[in-house]
């Protein structure tokens, strides 16, 4: 008798998300070069059934929209109102509790529990930065809670 020992893709994805979130919870530096699935594919694969809503709002304080940054390390400051950041991943969803996902140029670069950090090694040029407040299971709220800015790096 042959036993199938493969891990279902959803379980593997959840395991990777939980590990990634735990690794960055205390970090003040984000990786701008992390390769991996896009933010949309990660969030949507984790979202079976209806999603909770939240009254929380998120904003990117720095960099400002249209700002020119004269260094490859970009200081990121986030404002989160009406919500709190959880350091654990759970399917017990609370409307005012979740995680922050940081997306640079449509690539998820961090899942963080901090409101201030540094994105190192950002290449010269124009970039789109998004921050999303997501539920404790790392999937989006409905409606989504996203802030975005466009900025330019000149080294």
Distance of alpha carbon 9 from alpha carbon 15, whole angstroms = 10
Query: What string of pLDDT tens digits covers the 155 residues of the chain?
Result: 443 333 333 333 433 344 444 433 334 456 554 434 443 434 434 445 789 999 999 999 999 999 999 999 999 999 999 999 998 999 999 999 999 999 999 999 999 879 999 999 999 999 999 999 999 999 999 999 999 999 999 97
- 63 three-state secondary structure: coil
Whole-model pTM?
0.73
């Amino acid at each position: 008798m042959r036993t199938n020992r493969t891990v279902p893709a959803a379980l593997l994805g959840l395991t990777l998300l939980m590990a990634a979130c735990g690794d960055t919870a205390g970090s003040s530096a984000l990786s701008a070069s992390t390769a991996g699935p896009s933010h949309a594919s990660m969030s949507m694969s984790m979202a079976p059934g209806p999603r909770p809503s939240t009254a929380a709002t998120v904003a990117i304080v720095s960099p400002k929209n249209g700002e020119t940054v004269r260094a490859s390390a970009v200081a990121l400051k986030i404002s989160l109102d009406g919500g709190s950041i959880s350091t654990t991943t759970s399917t017990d969803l609370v409307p005012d509790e979740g995680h922050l996902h940081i997306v640079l140029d449509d690539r998820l670069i961090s899942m963080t529990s901090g409101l201030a950090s540094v994105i190192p090694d950002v290449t010269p040029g124009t970039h789109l930065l998004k921050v999303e407040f997501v539920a404790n299971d790392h999937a989006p709220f409905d409606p989504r809670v996203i802030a975005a800015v466009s900025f330019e790096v000149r080294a």
